[in-house]
Amino acid sequence: MAVFPLPQLEDNVVLLPSSQTNSTQPQLCDVWRDIQGAHNWNGLLDPMVPNLKAEALRYGNLAQLCYDAFDGKSYSKNYGTCYHSKRDLFNKMGMSESGYQVSKYVYANTNLLNQVFGEKPKDQGVWLGFIAVCKDPNEIRRLGRRDIVIAWRGTQTAEEWIEDLRDILVPTRLSYRCKRTGKNQEHHFADGVLIERGFLSCYTSTVRHRQGAAGATVNISTRDLVVSEIERLIQVYEKEMDNLSITFTGHSLGAALATLSAYDIKQMLCTKHNFHQIPVTVFAFASPRVGNLAFAKRVEEIGVKVLRFVNKRDLVPKVPGVCMNENVGCLSKLLHWLPWTYFHVGVELPLHNNSPFIQHTHNLAYFHNLELYLHLLDGYVGSKQPFSWSGRDHALVNKSCDLLREKYDIPPKWWQEQNKGLVKGPDGKWTQPSEEE
């Protein structure tokens, strides 16, 4: 691993000393409900409190992990999978001290993803993320609760979004088995909730899923896989319900799926006795609009807390609904029933491209890059404050783009797989390794 030089700070860059960022703030374990959005982050965003920034960056890193661990090489025989097994994911990706353990991988299979990642057999899906549980006692103590996290991967570039965001709003029928009656309760679209068709198709797509050590496979939807695993986990940790949280995170398409699945999970929790009190939070990066006005209202009514981070120069958060959205005012509310009238959900935190590390560029796709989002968040203090570098490695910005100024000597797009994944065997021959179990 190359060691990149510490940058020379500009005059308008503030370096926050560790004593200032850590000693004056309350312990996370004492304020975790506020950090998770219990009061819609009132008074925590401008200026941003260090605890919230640290937690948002932590969840953003989990979303970035979904990109870094994804085998998206069309020539790979493991194309569309995760490089590593559930057991080794965090260790292999340099996050062994996260305190989390992966309990389930999430796959999806829809026309949307086939067009982005190439044609695949109908019964297979591509790896979209994971469900993990905090199990380390020290991390649980630091967080103040046990956390279940669901991280979703997004598409790779903004150009893919421009190509694929072409669908309209459609009604959704999602059923949940009520613990009290034992019957399925189907939530109809009578309340007017509409979801973008591509996101819903992805979330409800059917894949072949292997269950148990015997390797038996069954047909299961992405949605059923997620819901059933969350149901299982809350049953396992039912006695910790007062100190249990469910957190979703994702970038781009992943942020949309994080919002949709958080809505779905919270609806499910509301059908189960006493489970409705479990806080459900979304840390969404570069999220497009997901649904209509009724969806946005329902998300708020059931208590899903969504914090959206938006780069002001990123085009993706402006779609779909370019012409008819929450910014149009009364007209959009009057025409909310149209299948192309979209509304953002939750609380938005705008990120300004005021980092002196970043050079000027006309490549709009770079403004959608998740590592740039995390860099800007790392330096964010308040809406009218200068960039304040908190120490996050600036080299990460150039992992998959060319945004850093030349004087920092960080090569563009430096994140590359060694030998394109080939390994040399005992016989001296180079081959592609089999998929890890």
> Strand 126-134 relative to strand 100-108: parallel, antiparallel, unpaired?
antiparallel
Q: Which of 171, 192, 158 is nearest to 296 (CA)?
A: 192
Q: Please give the structure tokens belonging to residue 57.
A: 């960056």
- Neighbour count for residue 312 (Cβ, 10 Å): 12
Exposed/middle/buried for 426, CB within 10 Å: 0-12, 13-18, 19+?
exposed
Element (H, E) at 297: helix 293-302
Which residues does the annotation mark as catalytic?
252, 314, 368
* β-bridge mates for residue 305, sequence order: 281
* Segment (H or E) for 150: strand 146-152
- In the three-class reduction of DSSP (H, G, I as helix; E, B as strand; rest coil), residue 104 is classed as strand
Give the Å distances, CA to CA, from 52 to 26, 47, 90, 370: 11, 11, 23, 18
DSSP SS3 for 376: helix
Reference 261, options 143, 152, 121; nearest CA is: 152
For 161-211, give the DSSP string: HHHH----EEE--EEEE-TTT-SEEEE-GGG--EEEHHHHHHHT-EEEEEE
| CA 105/CA 112 separation, integer angstroms | 20
User: How far is it, in rounded angstroms, from Cα 282 to Cα 83?
Assistant: 26
What gap in Å lies between CA 16 and CA 258, rounded to an integer?
32
Interatomic CA distance for residues 371 and 334, integer angstroms: 38
Cβ atoms of 333 and 292 closer than 8 Å: no
Phi then psi dihedrals of residue 206, to 5 deg: -105, 135
Strand partners, 175: 186
- Give the DSSP H/E element, type plus range, for residue 299: helix 293-302
Distance of alpha carbon 2 from alpha carbon 143, whole angstroms: 32
| Type of residue at 283 | F
